Structure 1
């Protein structure tokens, strides 16, 4: 999905399934790191969580650019001293609008999460938020850029995901998510920002 999202930008990809214990040999093994979503919570007791946090702190210290999406957004925040929790307000599912601090037109991206960053790390700067998710998009100087929602999700994929996992959602949330998929997305703007960040370290 990320190769498709960033298609045409000149990137090549190698995947490391850290959930299965397969980690890169070093932070220097790639020019940048993209941490994807996951069905797991960053606060859960899995043997790969702590090594992933260590890897991210090392990559951050080595000034290797990092992009995090959903779980990736959360695990970097936790690794750098922030707090992530299962949000007491419940789920955010479907096409969601996020207000940009810059005053640019709002982003409209598909979300699927219950966990979220509750307290961001000290060095994080908020780029976008919603009433439900105040830390929806964070920048860490020129070192990292992270999103709580999923710019890589398409309406077709989300339709299939809802069909498979609808039973875990409150019925009203699921219905609203289905309805929201008719709204236009700005995922291409997010893709352009991610590509620009990896290439130039610029965050617009």
Structure 2
């Protein structure tokens, strides 16, 4: 398969450049499960979009420190592309910002997360089990870092995962799946990011994050589930 990775991460700091960029992280995630698949990265945050998204077997939208509600011109253009992808039923997976952007583009609502910042290893309860998610555990562990969330799903969407009563993933038809959290992040990266954001997140969030990182996440199982999602969506 050919997957278009729509890279939304606007972090251009020295920290960002000492680690793999999001396009590489998502390519690694895809090829962890399907080594032969090709991923093409488009820096949509710089206004670089695919010439024709229909030439791809699917698309993925990455995370970003930018808010989906920012009104930035590239965000507005991305929301329009999401609606085009949905109308044509092209398989689409979104993580964090991508999850929120898909919801917002299709009629959902995004808001500030009650209780503030979530960072580190998160435990998400699987509330639905599509066939492609058959091998995921009942509680899915994923690294996360966010201060906004999907408050209201699009009308036709179905919840996939929840955490503390909040939605952390949804599906829409057979062609859209999302995760509020970051299946592409490695332990090395989230550990470094935790130190980078230590002052911003405050001592309590930092301490919780550090403690959470002592346990593993379900990255290989998530990589396989995402690959199966694309395969099932293309076959539908």
TM-score (norm. length: structure 1): 0.94
Alignment RMSD, CA only?
A: 1.4
Report if aligned partners of 2:142, 2:219 keep a CA contact under 8 Å in 1: yes
Unpaired runs of at least 5, structure 1:
none
Whose helix proportion is higher, 1 or 2? Answer: 2
Q: What residue number does 1:169 align with?
A: 201
Structure 2 residue aligned with 1:13: 39
Instruction: Structure 2: state its 5+ residue gaps.
Output: 1-24, 130-136
Deviations 1:88-109 (A, max 9, x none): 3201111011111148521011
1:62 to 52, 68, 88: 88
SS of equivalent residue, structure 1 residue 135: strand
Specify the alignment match of 2:64 in structure 1. 38
| SS of residue paired to 2:182 | coil
1:146 maps to 2:196: no
User: What CA distance in whole angstroms lies between the structure 2 residues aligned with 1:102 and 1:71?
Assistant: 22
Separation of aligned partners in 1, 2:41 and 2:205: 32
How much does 1:184 deviate? 1.7
Q: 2:98 aligns with which of 72, 81, 85?
A: 72
TM-score under structure 2 normalisation? 0.82
Matched residues, number: 201
Where do 4+ consecutive residues of structure 1 move more than 4 Å? none
After TM superposition, the structure 1 = structure 2 runs for residues 1-204 of structure 1, keeping only pairs within 5 Å, are 1-7=25-31, 8-9=33-34, 10-102=36-128, 104-131=137-164, 134-201=166-233
Deviation at 1:86, TM superposition (A): 1.7
